[in-house]
Amino acid sequence: MRKLIVLSAISVFVIAAAFLYSCNNNKDAEANSAEDSLKAVVEHGRYLANNVAACIHCHSTRDFNKYSGPVIPGTEGGGGQAFSNKELDVIPGVFYAKNITPDPETGLGSWTDDEILRAMTKGISKNGDTLFPLMPYASFNMMAKEDLLSIVAYLKTLKPIKNAVPARQSMIPMSMAYPVEAVQASIDGNVRPPKTDVVKYGGYLVTVADCAGCHTPFEKGQPDFARMFGGGNTFHFDQFVVTSANISPDSATGIRSWTEEMFVSKFKMYRDHKSYDYDPGKLNTVMPTSDFAGMTDEDLKAIYAYLRTVPPISHKVAKYPE
């Protein structure tokens, strides 16, 4: 009898110990999986900010002595790049990309997540200023909240850079520029289409990357949406002049004849740092090609699939002046 009690006491102890041990193990597992999922969120945000939405491309210093003006390492998110009517005539003045690193004084260090989201998706700065829609916030306004939040999580991992960006010089009152399109008040209902719905998913990426922003011609200072993706905007840089191409599926003037492989390789060939580390002189481009190159094959193919479905626009464009 005594033996039995001792035995059962031992077994209770063993069971309890095993239970406690497994609880602890679960806690460790939970902590590990929380850490893993934060890592995955930041990695997803890094991908979107660098390779799809071009945040880092605009908000850093670019080197136009190299193909497609890659970001100068160490300047990521520090801001200061100027966009003016000198480069593109429809820009009414001079606008500077802001410092979006976590620096508390000159960057976003003191901003809440909601304030960052509001600037990205509604074009309203922390101090209430309306931002000029050169940053495509009307497009970001259609992004899934999950994608937006992963970008915010990634921005917090950037090295803080102390860089006070000069004030913009706008030739028009901001009320004239805003809102370009009515931006929806709540982004909560936005969804990212599943990757299996290739055309829709490709359309989503095209929105996030704002391909239309550069590839839709302007008419009297406004994008001419009837000729979406028809190309024809000319960018003037000291080193080169380039006009955005017609990327609609028109046979004679667009990219109808491009195979999927040709399209994917237009980007993919610049994946390796060495492939754009040269001075193309007058044959340079303003398209962030070396950044888009980092998109996965799957994403590039989805973009191609989507661009096959948009209306063909007959519009002959010469990318480089004769």
From the CB of 21, what's the least distance to ligand HEC, in Å? 44
Among the residue ranges 1-9, 20-28, 156-164, 281-289, the one whose residues contact ligand HEC (CB under 6 A): 281-289
CB 189 within 8 A of CB 205: no
**Which distant-in-sequence residues (6+ apart) come within 8 Å of 11 by Cβ?**
none
C-alpha 146/C-alpha 37 separation (Å) is 13
Q: Is 96 exposed, middle or buried (0-12, 13-18, 19+ CB in 10 A)?
A: middle
CB 292 within 8 A of CB 205: no
Other Cβ atoms within 10 Å of 244 Cβ, number: 24
Is residue 247 close enough to count as binding ligand HEC by CB under 6 A? Answer: yes
**Which distant-in-sequence residues (6+ apart) come within 8 Å of 121 by Cβ?**
137, 140, 141, 143, 148, 183, 187
Is residue 140 close enough to count as binding ligand HEC by CB under 6 A? Answer: yes
The phi and psi torsions of 7 (rounded to 5 degrees) equal: -60, -45
Q: Which residues of 119-146 are buried (b: 16+ CB within 10 A; e: fewer)?
A: bbbbbbeeeeeebbbbbbbbbbbbbbbe
250, 255, 261, 264: CA torsion to nearest 10: -130
Size of the site for ligand HEC (CB under 6 A): 43
Among the residue ranges 15-23, 30-38, 84-92, 127-135, the one whose residues contact ligand HEC (CB under 6 A): 127-135
Is residue 76 close enough to count as binding ligand HEC by CB under 6 A? Answer: no
Site residues for ligand HEC, 156-175, by CB under 6 A, read: 168
State the Cα angle at 24 between 22 and 25, rounded to 5°: 60
Is residue 134 close enough to count as binding ligand HEC by CB under 6 A? Answer: yes
Is residue 315 close enough to count as binding ligand HEC by CB under 6 A? Answer: no
Among the residue ranges 10-18, 85-93, 128-136, 183-191, the one whose residues contact ligand HEC (CB under 6 A): 128-136
User: Site mask, ligand HEC, residues 183-212, x = CB under 6 A?
Assistant: -----------------------x--xxx-
From the CB of 16, what's the least distance to ligand HEC, in Å? 51
Is residue 125 close enough to count as binding ligand HEC by CB under 6 A? Answer: yes
Is residue 54 close enough to count as binding ligand HEC by CB under 6 A? Answer: yes
From the CB of 133, what's the least distance to ligand HEC, in Å? 8
From the CB of 274, what's the least distance to ligand HEC, in Å? 19
Closest C-alpha among 244, 251, 253 to residue 211 = 244
Is residue 58 close enough to count as binding ligand HEC by CB under 6 A? Answer: yes
Interface ranges with ligand HEC (CB under 6 A): 49, 53-55, 58-59, 83, 95, 97-98, 100, 116, 119-120, 125, 131-132, 134-135, 140, 151, 168, 206, 209-211, 213-215, 235, 242, 244-245, 247, 255, 266, 285-287, 289, 292, 303, 319
